[in-house]
Copies of this chain bind each other. A is one copy, B any other.
Amino acid sequence: MSQSEKVLTQAASRREEVLMHARRVIMRDGLEATSLRRIAREGGFTTGVLTHYFADKSELISACFEWTMRTWLDRVEGEVRDAPTAEESVCRFVSVAVPHASERHGEWRLWLNFVGTGAGDRQMADLLVETDLRWEALVTETLTRWHEAGLVSPRLPDEQEALILARLGDGLGLRALMTGDWDDARRTLVAALGAIGLPEDVARRALEPPAAEAG
């Protein structure tokens, strides 16, 4: 109960509270096994509360994916943009693209769950592409900052290079989800930045766990 109250305080609205519980159930049980009833039980409310906000499971799942990606992007956009130097923004970019903290890997697992389902679902595919446009824009903007600071010298236009980095990130996350080896994925991402000219000392720094991880 006190846990539920805490969640309520954190959540901006009742709707978000539902999405928060839905996300926890999906991460734990997988999309297939998730049901409105199970989410209601998890959150300690009636299924009536759920159906007030979402017509059915499919609508709730789409909303949960959209909300998860949006809150993730709100957070990482701030983190990467606010880096005081271009070098620091490399470190932050690497640590959001291939996270260190194990809780962040849960977000990747959720993503794979959605992607696995989306392969046969037009609406989910559109939603994925749309939310990913924002990520690709952030990668482009960040790459341009490095480029202007003389940190990298890609042979392609920043936008095209960013698209390649975004899809490489997907492939790396997918592999790390299988093997559990996120350090290996991070090394490959940093190698790819080396391929567009990132100096070795910055690359080395980007591979260290962020000091502020605990904070």
Which residues from chain A sit less than 8 Å from chain B, CB to CB?
32, 109, 112-113, 115-116, 118-119, 124-125, 128-129, 154-156, 160-161, 163-164, 166-172, 174-175, 177-180, 188, 191-192, 194-197
In the complex, besides A164-B192, A167-B168, 11 extra interface pairs with C-beta distance below 8 angstroms are A109-B119, A112-B119, A113-B116, A124-B178, A155-B195, A161-B195, A164-B168, A164-B188, A164-B191, A168-B171, A171-B174
- In the bound complex, residues from chain B placing their C-beta under 8 Å from that of A113 are 116
Tell whether, in the assembled complex, residue A164 and residue B129 are in contact, meaning their CB atoms are under 8 Å apart: no
Question: When chains A and B are docked, how far (Å) is the Cα of A156 from the Cα of B113?
Answer: 33
Give the distance to chain B from A186, nearest Cβ to Cβ, in Å.
12
Q: Are B129 and A178 in contact (CB under 8 A)?
A: yes
Please measure, in the bound complex, the distance between the C-alpha atom of A164 and the C-alpha atom of B180, giving whole angstroms: 18
What residues of chain B lie closer than 8 Å to A119, measured between beta carbons? 109, 112, 177-178
Chain B's closest residue to A194 (CB) is B156
Q: With A and B bound together, what is the CA distance between A191 and B155 in angstroms?
A: 10
Q: Which residue of B lies closest to A113 (CB)?
A: B116
Minimum Cβ distance to chain B for residue A138 (Å): 17
Q: Which residues of B contact A124 (CB under 8 A)?
A: 178
Q: How far is the CA of A114 from the CA of B124 in the complex (A)?
A: 20
